[in-house]
Amino acid sequence: MDIQNNKRPTEILNEEVKWDKSKTIISKTDAYGTILYVNDAFSEAAEYSKIEVIGEPHNIIRHPDMPKVAFKVLWDALKKGQNFHAIVKNLTKTGKYYWVITDFTIDKNEKGDTVGYTARRKAVPQSVIEVIEPLYKTLLDIEKVKGEKASELYFNAYLNEEVNKSYDDFVIDLFSSEINILDKENAKKESQEKFKRSLKSFFFSTY
Ligand SMILES: Cc1cc2nc3c(=O)[nH]c(=O)nc-3n(C[C@H](O)[C@H](O)[C@H](O)COP(=O)(O)O)c2cc1C
């Protein structure tokens, strides 16, 4: 691999990249979203070497199918000091894609100032993608035709009217229902509250 060549893809392929979905993809940024650290699973999925992405803005893997409003709510939450979950479609170096659920946490120094952020990502079950993909497509179409503000208003109204919860809770619930199905298969039924507590350890497992 040419480690100097950190160019973004010129062609977007409708093809999922192959990566080990049991792994956790991790990256750390400074307070502005500049990449400071990525793990091996990040390189495998995104198809960039560590050298290529360190020091680059995190939007290097931004997929054009992602609506802007998804990142606006992410940054609004992080700037308010709130940890956050989001479902993201990412773009690889060769133009492929991968879907992940991301757990964002805020990194603070000993004085309590925010110095950066850490993102831990897991593969997303197909059933979750089937809910999120059409929503993101609608948001993107609204952004293209009516602008970002209209997309944000639609997103907030959708969350109020159709799911009656914040985006963060929506993502956690979508995911917990999927995990509960898996738990039932394993004869281990977990309650919603227990799930929320175990979500953290889920993001810290196997990588
Ligand atoms: C810790 C951290 C991880 C991020 N991970 C991703 C990511 O995996 N994919 C992505 O498109 N944006 C990610 N972002 C958001 C980007 O910084 C950026 O806001 C986004 O790609 C949209 O690009 P834009 O702000 O230039 O429109 C992350 C931000 C932070 C702070």
DSSP 71-132: HHHHHHHHHTT--EEEEEEEE-TTS-EEEEEEEEEEEE-TTS-EEEEEEEEEE--HHHHHHH
Closest CA to 142 of 126, 158, 160, 121: 158
Q: How far is the CA of 58 from the centre of ligand 1 (A)?
A: 5
Q: How confident is the model at residue 199 (pLDDT cuts 50, 70, 90)?
A: confident
Q: Which CATH superfamily is domain 25-201 in?
A: PAS domain (3.30.450.20)
- Angle separating helix axes 126-146 and 167-185, nearest 10 degrees: 160
Q: Partners of 139 in the beta sheet?
A: none
Q: How far is the CA of 138 from the centre of ligand 1 (A)?
A: 20
Higher pLDDT, 79 or 10: 79
Closest CA to 116 of 154, 147, 78: 78
Closest residue CA from atom 3 of ligand 1: 119
Instruction: Please return the burial class of 84, using the count of CB atoms within 10 Å of its CB with bins 0-12, 13-18 and 19+.
Output: buried
User: Cα angle vertex 193, ends 189, 194, to 5°?
Assistant: 50
Closest residue CA from atom 11 of ligand 1: 62
- The backbone torsions φ and ψ at residue 62, rounded to the nearest 5 degrees and listed phi first, read -70, 130
- Measured from CB, residues less than 6 Å from any atom of ligand 1 are 27, 29, 33, 58-59, 61-62, 66, 68, 71, 88, 90, 104, 117, 119
pTM assigned to the model: 0.90
pLDDT given for residue 6 in this prediction: 65
Q: Averaged over 118-131, what is the pLDDT? A: 95
pLDDT given for residue 183 in this prediction: 57
Residue 53 and residue 35 in contact, taking contact as beta carbons nearer than 8 Å: yes
Q: Which residue type occupies 163?
A: V
The answer to whether residue 203 scores a pLDDT higher than 80 is yes
pLDDT given for residue 198 in this prediction: 75
Strand order in the sheet with 25-30: 35-38, 25-30, 114-123, 97-108, 84-91
Q: Could you tell which of 8, 30, 35, 59 is best to mutate to test the pocket of ligand 1, judged by most ligand atoms within 8 Å of the CB?
A: 59
Q: How confident is the model at residue 193 (pLDDT cuts 50, 70, 90)?
A: low
Mean pLDDT estimate for the chain: 90
How do residues 145-189 score in pLDDT, each as one tens digit?
A: 999 999 999 999 999 999 999 999 999 888 877 665 555 555 455
Q: Which residue type occupies 20?
A: D
| Nearest atom of ligand 1 to the alpha carbon of 68 | 27
Q: Partners of 51 in the beta sheet?
A: none
User: Where do the structural domains in the chain lie, given as residue ranges?
Assistant: 25-201
pLDDT given for residue 12 in this prediction: 96
The answer to whether residue 138 scores a pLDDT higher than 80 is yes
Closest residue CA from atom 29 of ligand 1: 33
